[in-house]
Amino acid sequence: MTSAEIRSDVAREAAGPHGHDGAAGATSAEPVWWGWGPAFAHQPLPASVADVLTQLGIPVRPSRPVALADVRLPPVRLSATARHALVAIVGEGHVRLEAEVRVRHCRGRSTTDLLLLRSGDASAAPDAVVLPADHDEVLELLRVATRERIVVVPYGGGTSVVGGLAPPAAQGRPVIALDLRRLDRLGRIDRESGTVELDAGLRGPRVEELLAPHGLTLGHVPQSWEYATIGGFAATRSSGQASGGYGRFDELVVGLRVATPAGGWELGRAPASAAGPDLRALVLGSEGAFGVITRVTVRVHPLPAHRVHEGWRVPDFATGTRLLRDLAARDLRPTVCRLADETETLANLAGPTATDDNDTSDAAASGGGGAGGCRLITGFEGSGAAVAERAARVAEILRAGGATALGPDAGLDWERGRFRAPYLRDALLDLGVFAETLETAGFWSSLPALYTGVRRALTDTLGSAGLAPVVMCHVSHLYATGASLYFTVVSAQGDDPVATWRTAKAAAGEAIVAAGGTITHHHAVGTEHQPWLGAEIGGLGLDVLRSVKRTLDPAGILNPGVLVP
């Protein structure tokens, strides 16, 4: 089975066929409005999980979202003039005002977003959802929005976990979500250069479906892959689970087409250039605040002929991290590489596991790390000889460093469960249990302090609130000079989980800044990371972002208050 086949299978299992009908409403394959994935993919957790949670001091209090009819939505503020102007561009059926459509485009998919939605709070919903057909319609919409003082939220998969879809500086102006799902074409395939043009509204699975008949893969598979879009990957500098082999999304992009209120913009005439600063880098990560990315040209790879997965047990997290450093320094990054710390390794055993049919004993047998230490997953994709050779060299270094091979099953287990975490979060929220993630990255020398600092900040804040936090971490993206750390927190909800998490997240943010890391490795800034952006890029950096925004979006209609404070 090729990776595209496997990925397609996962997508089918998880979400069914994806709608490309141009409608923004619900179909059975659309995710539930209050969580992740379609209803049929939601399963309650086994009773044993509740037992473990209770033993950890986390009370289980079943809790369901309110009914859709009970969700509180603000009235539509769009004037008839404005509405007609929008309809004149995209047609009647593509300006949607129905309650359900608005709720579905309300906020993103952070735990805070879900807690608010589940409680019936859709106060941040857009007034309308507009579905342009192409780049030119986006340009026209931005002209009308500038004229009519309408705030525009570029909307891809709606999977932001940093508040990137609820602009706080709308200041009473009407807000439209610009849903890009109709921009769904595979453009020019340049076989010689190994690049393809992809429309911004294409979701992860659809891209692989379109590329597979050509023997190609994008290989960009973040956890949000089932729903997130090409435009979103570019706008947030997404990094996929196979970034070690295929690269971060910003490394894959060689060309960009952007619609801005100041006009259209095309960038990228060569893989590398010295024609001044690389302005592609200014669009990548611009989070819908500078313009609407409508198409990207990206590097693609041949579908890998072989894939090898391996599970490993390393003595401890520090040793494992050093081993990964050694691999990265020798330019031996596996395609996939994930090192869980002691807590996450245990949680994979005791908690709700990656796959449905895994019980504790299975997990131990398949290499979850039952004998202590930390679980490491490595994966390699590519052509036959190269994959085997690379895997062998990595295995040699890992063994020499004290790692024990656990066989391919642990790796395949991980792969089967690679998209499950957000579904699991829904199930935990259904039990009244809090679950959220945050991530950072740093240079190798700063990683130990970064790990300790963030862990302590989360544990102390939530612990002193009596919420019995379980704080887990894994390393998941390697670079020659450093790596990312991805933290998962499971805790009791307490009385005001949204406020409590804000406090814990702030403590983690301070710890990241103090330890010299970046406030986000692949989740983007949105509104949630804004308080620490100044520490990261300096006052001058903020001034530069503001000046670029003024140039491209003089009326400040694009995602105001997101990214650029």
Mark out the alpha helices in 215-358 (DSSP H runs): 230-236, 243-246, 249-252, 280-283, 317-329, 342-350
Residues in 96-125 that interact with a second copy by CB under 8 A: none
Would you give the binding string for a second copy spanning residues 363-402, x where CB under 8 A is met? --------------------x-------------------
Work out whether 278 is an interface residue with a second copy (CB under 8 A).
Answer: yes
Residues in 540-559 that interact with a second copy by CB under 8 A: 540-541, 543-548, 550-552
Q: Determine which residue in the list 525, 555, 557, 558 makes contact with a second copy, applying CB under 8 A.
A: 525
Work out whether 452 is an interface residue with a second copy (CB under 8 A).
Answer: no
* Per-position DSSP letters for 21-89, written without gaps between them: SS--S--TTSPPTTSSS-GGG--PPPHHHHHHHHHTT-------PPPGGG-B-PPP---HHHHHHHHHH
- Burial label, 265 (beta-carbon count in 10 A; 0-12, 13-18, 19+): middle
When the beta carbons of 25 and 271 are compared against a second copy, the nearer one is 271
Residues in 156-185 that interact with a second copy by CB under 8 A: none
When the beta carbons of 64 and 393 are compared against a second copy, the nearer one is 393
- The DSSP code for 229 is B
Q: Determine which residue in the list 98, 266, 356, 496 makes contact with a second copy, applying CB under 8 A.
A: 266
When the beta carbons of 388 and 544 are compared against a second copy, the nearer one is 544
Residues in 242-261 that interact with a second copy by CB under 8 A: 248, 250, 254, 260
Amino acid at 265: W
Distance CA 552, CA 139 (A): 12
CB 35 within 8 A of CB 429: yes
Query: H or E segment at 360?
Result: helix 360-365
Residues in 322-361 that interact with a second copy by CB under 8 A: 325, 329-330
Region near a second copy per CB under 8 A, out of 263-271, 353-361, 371-379, 463-471: 263-271
Q: Determine which residue in the list 73, 262, 397, 449 makes contact with a second copy, applying CB under 8 A.
A: 262
Residues in 9-28 that interact with a second copy by CB under 8 A: none
Total residues at interface with a second copy (CB under 8 A): 84
When the beta carbons of 12 and 330 are compared against a second copy, the nearer one is 330
Backbone angles phi, psi at 404, to 5 degrees: -110, 130
> CB 212 → a second copy: shortest distance, Å?
19
> CB 453 → a second copy: shortest distance, Å?
14
When the beta carbons of 269 and 495 are compared against a second copy, the nearer one is 269
Work out whether 287 is an interface residue with a second copy (CB under 8 A).
Answer: yes
Residues in 463-502 that interact with a second copy by CB under 8 A: 477, 479-484
When the beta carbons of 107 and 521 are compared against a second copy, the nearer one is 521
Q: Determine which residue in the list 497, 523, 528, 557 makes contact with a second copy, applying CB under 8 A.
A: 523
When the beta carbons of 348 and 518 are compared against a second copy, the nearer one is 518
- CB neighbours of residue 416 within 10 Å: 18
Q: Residue 162, SS3?
A: coil
Query: H or E segment at 306?
Result: strand 306-314
> CB 202 → a second copy: shortest distance, Å?
20
Closest to 355 (Cα-Cα) out of 406, 413, 412: 413
Amino acid at 280: R
Rg (CA), the chain: 23
Work out whether 508 is an interface residue with a second copy (CB under 8 A).
Answer: no
Q: Tokens in use for 521?
A: 């490795």
Percentages (nearest 5) of helix, strand, coil residues in the chain: 40, 20, 40
